[in-house]
Amino acid sequence: MTNAAHTQPVAVVTGANSGIGRATAIHLAANGFRVYGTVRERSKAVKLTAMAEQAGVDVRLAELDITDDASVRDGFSRILDAEGQIDVLVNNAGVGGNAVAEECSPSTYLEVMNVNLCGAVRCQQQVLPIMRERGSGTIVNVSSVVGRVAALAQSPYVASKWALEGMSEGLAQEVAPFGIRVAIVEPGVTKSSIFAKNLETPNASGAYDAQYRRLFQMYMTGIAQAADPREVAATILHAIATDAPQLRYPCAWGGSEMIAGRAAMSDADWVALGDHDDDADYYADFKRLFGVDLV
């Protein structure tokens, strides 16, 4: 390593080129962190660079692909060579995925899981040895409200976020003896390019029209009221800096309400919610159970 460890904490934010990742990288840089934002291609980080300059902060770019073992290893090695330490890892990079289980190919599940679960695991495995050696560190895994609530017709996305939650919950116990903290951030609907990239509905049979229609109704309602990604960035900073840490942090539109609603209802109520023939009845029951109005 070329640089000795220094007093300014070093944070790595994955998926820093847009949305929550970009807002988080800039927010952490504005609050005293030396920030590395990971991007797949430096040439496409124009908006990130411009927004960082406008905010008067420095976000260093780290080019790597979280789906590739060697790319992650090499990218983190370059950061450690430059800094000598990584104090905070924010695993934010992720993709969506719409499909009902009947019509979602196993390859689609694996593609989404490779980003949303395995990408986080790859990055964690690069920082945990040095965090253990130092006896400190924080890993923030950005999950989703669908990591706690199996949102309709998003089976591959839901499965990947539930897997991320389970891995993160186990990790929190595994690394607690080494002074390392784990936080799971669970945003609801947040302004992000992920929605524009997540419009496919593989409804080959035509049997699931209602399920997809209700999914997109939730999207449309949520997008109209979506939280600014800076709200999630503030939650992430709080999770890192607080003296009273907790494991999970719901935030953004619908996040707290939907998670609390699912925890309060029975499994029978959950299944019955899906058994409505009429959309109006579904939306009314959704509001009763979650306190969120979709119309």
Please confirm, yes or no, whether 157 is among the known catalytic residues.
Answer: yes
Q: How far apart are CA 124 and CA 161, in angstroms?
A: 16
φ/ψ (deg, to 5) at 81: -60, -35
Q: Is 217 exposed, middle or buried (0-12, 13-18, 19+ CB in 10 A)?
A: middle
Closest-CA residue to 252 (of 147, 166, 139): 147
User: Residues 36, 109, 157, 219: which is the catalytic one?
Assistant: 157
Q: Tell me which residues are annotated as active site.
A: 157
